[in-house]
Amino acid sequence: MKSVRLLLTISIALTAYLGDYVVFKSKYSSSQLFRALADSSTHGAIGFLSALLFFSNIKITNQACIYNTIFCTFMSSVIDVDHFILARSIYLKDLNNVSQRGILHCTTFMMLVTSILALYSHIIHKINIYIVTYMIVLAFTSHHLRDGNRRGLWLCPFGHTMSIPKFIYVILICILPILFSYLFNYTRPMFKHTVLQYNEV
């Protein structure tokens, strides 16, 4: 299992570096559509690998792993939908007129939402919701850190941080899934029911 974790960690790093190159430095980077699709795909791929790395240290059913990995992959990409909401348009050319970042790119907002979800899952003893919460955390942390390489993190109401150096953001997205898995395992005994049944969500 250690070799699997190592492979997944290396894959996350390579995906981040390769994805950034394809998005910003390839011969197709002049195309706004190509950049948007490549950027979204890179976010999704990192979310996918992050979820797999997280679950490599978690004991759950294969069904739960598959469902939640798909969800994390989707969330990692769909965060960018707030660009279109701000632009009030579905056309990429209208995104150039948007100068601010959407609410889903606000790190403090996402931390607040996931904290509330985590607390709620403890109160009602639903591990299903707790796992989903971690998938959202994995999705937004990897997405925000990657975007933060160019624009910093948005910590409303305190403003934006400086841009995050590439090697730091890559290291963080590689180690956070494992750190989150340890945190998950540490808090998991608080639940009365640990068998994941999706029809009970």
- Summarised one tens digit per residue, pLDDT across range 57-113 is 998 889 999 999 999 999 999 998 887 777 777 776 666 666 678 889 999 999 999
What is the domain extent for residue 193?
2-200
Q: What is the pLDDT of residue 96?
A: 66
Summarize pLDDT for 24-57 with one digit per residue, the tens.
888 888 888 898 899 999 999 999 999 999 999 9
Burial code of 6-18, b = ≥16 C-beta within 10 A, e = fewer? eebbebbbebbee
Q: How many domains in the chain?
A: 1
Tokens of 115: 């904290």
Across 121-135, average pLDDT:
90
pLDDT of 173 > 70? The answer is yes
Statement: residue 198 has pLDDT above 90:
no
Of 95, 94, 80, 97, nearest to 146 by C-alpha is 80
Q: Name the DSSP letter for residue 176.
A: H
Kindly indicate the confidence band of residue 169, based on its pLDDT and cuts at 50, 70 and 90: very high
Beta bridge partners of 160: 154
Hey, what are 8's tokens? 């997944």
Which residues face 154 on adjacent strands?
106, 160
What percentage of the chain exceeds 70 in pLDDT?
Answer: 90
